[in-house]
Structures are given as C-alpha cells and as structure tokens.
Amino acid sequence: MSNAKEALALHLYSMEEDGEEIPAPSDPGKLEPVEGGFYTLIEVRTGLIRDKQLNRSVTKNVTLPRWLELEATKAGLNYSQILQTRIERGIRDCQ
C-alpha cells in the first residue's frame, strides 16, 4: 500500500509539474467487479512529495580557474555550501 501511495503521489506531482489536468477520483460505486481482485482507496497528498522533490540535491558542474581551485582546496572550502549560499543571496537581491 505504501508503494501505491508513493507511486500515485509521484505521478500526480509529475502531472502538476507538466501542467496537466488532474482527473477526478473514480466513483467506487461505478467500478466494475474484478474477479479474484479488489479495489482499495488510496489517499494521497502531493505536498510532501513536492517538498521532497524541491529539496533534493542536484549535481551541477562548475568551471573555475585552476589557481582558484587550488586555493579553495588549501583553505578547505565547501564548494557546494558556498555556491548554494551565493545563489540564494543572488535570488534575494533580484527580488
């Protein structure tokens, strides 16, 4: 059941991201019986999946002069943290 919830949430999230219309849920009273099978209700909220997807880390390649890379390594700088902080500041400055 948890896999079904996650799969449906991810699918609905993808549809939202693609601007697709989310279909209305099926009316349980109108479903045809399935021999040897069953239907079950699955409740999904895409907010948690959206937060998880928007906060996941992504890898970006960066090009910089060799001397700068050497100095940054010598200083023990964290490239990811510096880049993230500067991009956030740049976004705030543009708003």
Q: What is the DSSP string of 6-17?
A: HHHHHHHHHHHH
Q: How far apart are CA 84 and CA 1, in angstroms?
A: 37
For the entire predicted model, the pTM comes to 0.60
Mean pLDDT, residues 62-80: 94
Short-list 95, 58, 65, CA closest to 80: 58
pLDDT, tens digit, 9 for 90 and up, residues 34-64: 899 888 889 888 888 889 888 989 899 999 9
In angstroms, how far apart are the furthest CA atoms of the chain?
A: 70
pLDDT given at position 1: 81
Average pLDDT value over all residues in the chain: 91
